[in-house]
Amino acid sequence: MIERLGIVVSGSLNKGVEVRLDSSTSIEDMVEGRFVTIEGAKRRFFGMITDVSLGMTDQRLSLTPPDVSDPFIAEVLAGTSTFGTLHVSPSLVIGGGASAILEGPQPVKTIPSHFSAVKLATQEDVELVFGTEDEKRFFIGNPLDMEVKLCLNLEELVKRSNGIFGKSGTGKTFLTRILLFGMLQKSKAVNLVFDMHNEYGWAGTREGGPPVKALKQFFPSRVAVFTLDEENSRHRGVSTDGVVKIGYDEIEPEDITLLRQTLNLTDLAVEAVYQLYRKFGRSWIQDTLDLKLDEGLPEGLSVHEGTLLNLQRGLATIRRLPFIEPHSPANAVKAIMEHLDRGTNVVLEFGRYRDITAYILVANMLSRRIYAHYQSRVEKADAKGGVRPQPLVITIEEAHKFLNPIVAGQTIFGTIAREMRKFNVTLLVIDQRPSGIDSEVMSQLGTKITCLLDNEKDIDSVLAGVSGRSELKSVLAKLAAKQQALIFGHAVPMPVAFQPREYGSAQSYKDFAPQKEAEEEIEKLWD
């Protein structure tokens, strides 16, 4: 039997309810973000503590405080003249009424009556809301201060684009890795990860500790690691499945458009790219770089001198990228597509080329082609009644570079984020500056997971359009700098602050890995 914490004394649907604590409940045990249930007369409500405050019946007590050094006086006054209050925002109805039993937790449309009893949520209550680990649900962490598992329905999750946000060093990468593990285990989606910092393929870094294992070590047959920097991958001891080289002739005008900011191109230069592409065809980069201004422009081209110089400077930057070659012998896009078609997850490592130009160019190029491929396959499947391709989740880091308001309309990622699941392709956006992402794209993200953010603009952009914003804002601002996150949106019935499950110890590997591999792993550790 869970003891009563207190009773509802006032409140409103919009602002949440005030709960007066019983004298037996210590206010210091009440933590923001904890789950409580409220036993209304007809329904049971499920909510979260969003504020804790102190109250007193007589304001004179604050002016002439009683002698609390006397334990008797202190004990008498606690809970009577002085008391604690909780602010609880009820978010779900979890019992009472036929619909709640049949359809599970329902969003709240009313509030509990006066003096309804408030209790801490039990394990069963939380499981009722967040589900238990099963075929489709994946355990991602524990709600703060609770020993209960928070499970996500990953099939639901991958139906929409999602975002992971947080300042640098707050655990975005660990969280992403856990989610990727989950998708590999529990969803039918196939992943394409643009791994800017070489974290997800073979091994990832950990602050102040040995490297942690990444996807390929657990699922060798289901994960293919491609690299742009073969030498670097070899140094790190990563067995790669392919090297990506990009030929000049594979770069199209749209790829340059996205690089406008990074390459410092003028608007006119970007316009000129299309003209040059029409004129020279696939070899346009080489031909443009070969143009000599003093020899005059070929017939049919009207590009201003300064514009051409600007463009040539920009293209030269691209040419200097070591993985760009005049002609690429193998078609990397095709190889990656084949893997994805077979249901193999692909991690593309960037090795030393962490330059943002390289990342944007490669990610955009590949995604555009893959998206086009998916689009045609889905359209074909729909027309002929065939099988739609497996859902694809593209993971991108530094997302604000692709999805900022200036380029979001032009890049493929903007399109994927907006058109979402029509073609079975969704995004997993990872970013530390969510305010830099186009608000239209942000609004389309289904589920958002955010670690600590402290910039006001970033917080506002992440929480834009969520109900109970001000409460969530205070929860978000109080997250610990590490290993705590707030999740809200499509895949969870209500916002919840949680601690991601442990990752990196032998026991955690055992929990993550398929059973047999885990046992071998433990054996190895003992040897």
Summarize as ranges the residues that interact with another protein (CB under 8 A). 23, 57-58, 60-61, 64, 66, 70, 72-73, 75-77, 79-81
From the CB of 44, what's the least distance to another protein, in Å?
29
- Amino acid present at 500: P
* Cα separation, 238 vs 226, whole angstroms: 10
CA gap 80, 56 in Å, rounded: 8
In sequence order, what are the residues at sequence separation of 6 or more whose Cβ sits closer than 8 angstroms to the Cβ of residue 174?
Answer: 204, 483, 500, 503, 504
Q: Which amino acid is at 321?
A: L
Burial of 71 (0-12, 13-18, 19+ CB in 10 A): exposed
Least distance CB 62 / another protein (angstroms): 11
Reading across the β-sheet that carries 485-489, which strands appear in turn?
150-153, 137-143, 496-500, 485-489, 447-450, 162-165, 425-431, 392-396, 190-195, 345-349, 223-227, 242-243
| Nearer to another protein (CB atom), residue 13 or residue 68 | 68
Amino acid at 291: L
Q: Which residue lies nearer to another protein by CB, 76 or 372?
A: 76
Structure tokens at 460: 């506002």
And the tokens for 438? 């186009």
For residue 22, is it left (φ>0), alpha (ψ between -120 and 50) or beta? beta
C-alpha to C-alpha distance for 350 and 474, rounded to whole angstroms: 37
Residue with smaller CB distance to another protein, 56 or 378: 56
Question: With respect to another protein, which residue has the nearer C-beta, 62 or 507?
Answer: 62
Least CB distance to another protein at residue 57 (A): 4
Q: 73 vs 525, which CB is nearer to another protein?
A: 73
| Nearer to another protein (CB atom), residue 77 or residue 244 | 77
**Residue 80 beta carbon to another protein: minimum distance, rounded to whole angstroms:** 4
Question: Which value, to the nearest 10 degrees, does the dihedral of the CA atoms of residues 121, 122, 127, 133 take?
Answer: 130
- Nearest distance, CB of residue 116 and another protein, angstroms: 20
Radius of gyration over alpha carbons of the chain, in Å? Answer: 28
Q: Least distance from C-beta 70 to another protein, angstroms?
A: 6
Q: Coil, helix or strand for 371?
A: helix
Q: Are 508 and 522 spatial neighbours (Cβ–Cβ below 8 Å)?
A: no
Q: How far is the CB of 81 from another protein (least distance, A)?
A: 5
Please give the helix or strand (H or E) that residue 50 lies within, else none.
strand 44-56
Q: Considering the complex, what minimum distance in angstroms separates the CB of residue 67 from another protein?
A: 8
Long-range contacts of 377-385 (CB under 8 A, 24+ apart): 378/422, 378/423, 378/424
- Gap between the Cα atoms of 89 and 468, Å rounded: 8
Q: Which residue number, 79 or 414, has a Cβ lying nearer to another protein?
A: 79
Return d(Cα 37, Cα 321) in angstroms, integer: 58
Residue 25 CB, shortest distance to another protein, in Å, is 14
Q: List, in sequence order, every residue forming a beta bridge with 151; answer none if it has no partner.
A: 139
Return d(Cα 346, Cα 340) in angstroms, integer: 7
Neighbours of 307 (CB within 10 A): 17
Shortest Å distance, C-beta 503 to another protein? 49
Question: Cβ of residue 53: shortest distance to another protein, in angstroms?
Answer: 18
**Taking the complex as a whole, how short is the minimal distance between the CB of residue 78 and another protein, in angstroms?**
9
Question: Residue 84 CB, nearest distance to another protein (Å)?
Answer: 15
C-alpha span between 151 and 311 (Å, rounded):
50
- How many CB atoms are closer than 10 A to CB 268? 14
- Residue 204: exposure state from Cβ atoms within 10 A (0-12, 13-18, ≥19): buried
**Residue 371, amino acid:** Y
Closer CB to another protein, residue 60 or residue 524? 60
User: Of 79 and 495, which CB lies nearer to another protein in the complex structure?
Assistant: 79
How far is Cα 379 from Cα 423, in angstroms, rounded to an integer?
8
Q: Residue 66 or 326: which CB sits closer to another protein?
A: 66
Please report how close the Cβ of residue 508 comes to another protein at its closest, in angstroms: 47
Nearer to another protein, 22 or 39 (CB): 22
